[in-house]
Structure 1
Amino acid sequence: MPSDRGSRDVIDVLTGDHRRVKEMFVRVIALPPGDRRRRYVVASVITELMRHAEAEEKYLYPAVRAHVPDGDRLAAEKIADHALTRQTINELDGLDPSDARFDEVFRRLIGATREHLADEETNLFPRLAGACDTDTLHDLGTKVERARRATPVWPSVEPADVPPLGGWYGPGPVDHRGPGLDGRPATGSGPRTW
Structure 2
Amino acid sequence: MGHGGNVIEELKSDHREVETMFGRIQTMTGRGQELRDLVDEVTIELVRHSVAEEQYLYPAVREHVQGGDRLADKEIEDHRRVEEILKKLEQMDTVDAQMRPLLQQLQLEVSSHVKDEEDNLFPMLARACTAELLDDLGDKIRRAKSMAPTRPHPSAPSSPAASKLLAPGVGLVDRARDFVSGRGKS
Q: Same fold (TM over 0.5)?
A: yes
Task: Tell me the distance in 1 between the aligned counterparts of 2:79 and 2:13.
Answer: 18
Q: For residue 120 of structure 2, what is the amino acid of its counterpart? A: N
In the TM superposition, what whole-angstrom CA distance separates every residue of 1:65-87 from its partner, at most 9, and x where no partner exists? 00000000000000000011111
- Same amino acid, percent of matched pairs: 41
Q: For residue 34 of structure 1, what is the amino acid of its counterpart? A: R
Extract unaligned runs of 5+ from structure 2: 153-170, 179-186
Structure-1-length-normalised TM-score: 0.76
1:126 counterpart SS class: helix
Aligned pair 1:71/2:73, yes or no?
no
Asked if structure 2 preserves the Cα contact closer than 8 Å seen for 1:152 and 1:192, the reply is no
Q: Which portions of structure 1, spanning 4 or more consecutive aligned residues, are displaced by more than 4 angstroms? A: none
Asked if structure 2 preserves the Cα contact closer than 8 Å seen for 1:154 and 1:192, the reply is no
- Aligned alpha-carbon RMSD (Å): 1.7
The CA deviation at 1:152 is 3.6
Counterpart of 1:113 (choices 100, 110, 115) is 110
The CA deviation at 1:142 is 0.3
Higher helix share: 2
Counterpart of 1:129 (choices 123, 126, 130) is 126
Extract unaligned runs of 5+ from structure 1: 1-6, 156-175, 178-189
Aligned pair 1:192/2:177, yes or no?
yes
Structure-2-length-normalised TM-score: 0.79
> What residue in structure 2 maps to residue 180 of structure 1?
none
Task: Tell me the distance in 1 between the aligned counterparts of 2:50 and 2:128.
Answer: 22
> What residue in structure 2 maps to residue 58 of structure 1?
55
The CA deviation at 1:20 is 0.4
Tell which has more relative contact order, 1 or 2 (C-alpha 8 A, sep 6+). 2
Asked if structure 2 preserves the Cα contact closer than 8 Å seen for 1:59 and 1:140, the reply is yes
Counterpart of 2:15 (choices 15, 18, 22) is 18
The CA deviation at 1:97 is 1.3
Higher strand share: 1
